[in-house]
Amino acid sequence: MTATSHAPDNGPNGPEAIVSMRSASFGYADRVVVSGVTLDIHAGEVVAILGPNGSGKSTLVKGLLGLNDHLGGDVALFQTPIDRFRDHSRLGYVPQRHTLSASVRATATEIVAIGRLPHQGWLGRPNHEDHRIIAESLAVVGLDDRADVDVSTLSGGQQRRVLIARALAAHPDVLIMDEPTAGVDLASQEVLSQVLARLAGRGATMLIVTHELQAVEGVLTRIIQLKGGQVTFDGTPADYARSQGAPTTGHNGQHHDDDEGPPDSAAAGPLDHVDHLHGGHSG
């Protein structure tokens, strides 16, 4: 299948792209995993990145986050070339390995507070506004009644919602989620779907890597499909369903790692990369 064109809309009568890629390639060291990607993502879009294991979905979004190597082509975030982009708090990230280790001893509020670090300065402490935003972020994901609960006692789906709230607390311009509904039971998937619908209703821009299209299809405005590291479809959910001959429900089984990263990447935990994404602060 050839890729469906999604024409840029950056003229004086159209919105500027939040993400812009032209013949972009990403990978690890000198190994190209994703290549030839040309697309724009605009404010208010809710985009699914779809594809089989090893297709390059996670490599693509991690490339935008600076967590792997940009190996070719042009990439811009908020009209700034990616090699000069520094304002990472504008990108809210919920990583693929997003349940919290039993060794993490912190309340939901303390985890979500990490999202406020970029706005506090090196020696800053949470102020009234920070506390308000933290509480609001927990409320958006339906966990305001779990604010003071130790996260190690929460279910996998609840922990995932805590990490979505952490990303929201930074007040990002785009929320990037890697497999937000994978590996949790159907009831938790339904709650997570409701959270995503709530965010979409608030006009949030979201980029969602997923195997489980059914869990998110109600909020999507666009689907981008990858295969073999290249875009093979870019269009509306309705067009995607027609291209498949029937609505696609995706997998409901356990998720396996999407892309092969560097040898030590398998050990990465959900709080890894916080320093990078939040301007060097530690939590």
Q: What is the per-residue DSSP string for 129-154?
A: HHHHHHHHHHHHTT-GGGTTSBGGGS
- On the question of pLDDT at 197 being above 50, the answer is yes
pLDDT tens, position by position, 77-96: 999 999 999 988 899 998 87
Measure Cα distances from 11 to 14, 20, 26, 62 in Å.
5, 13, 27, 28
- On the question of pLDDT at 252 being above 90, the answer is no
Domains of the chain: 43-58+87-277 (3.40.50.300)
Answer yes or no: pTM beyond 0.85. no
* Lowest mean pLDDT segment, chosen from 13-17, 61-65, 158-162, 263-267: 263-267
Q: How far apart are CA 47 and CA 129, in angstroms?
A: 31
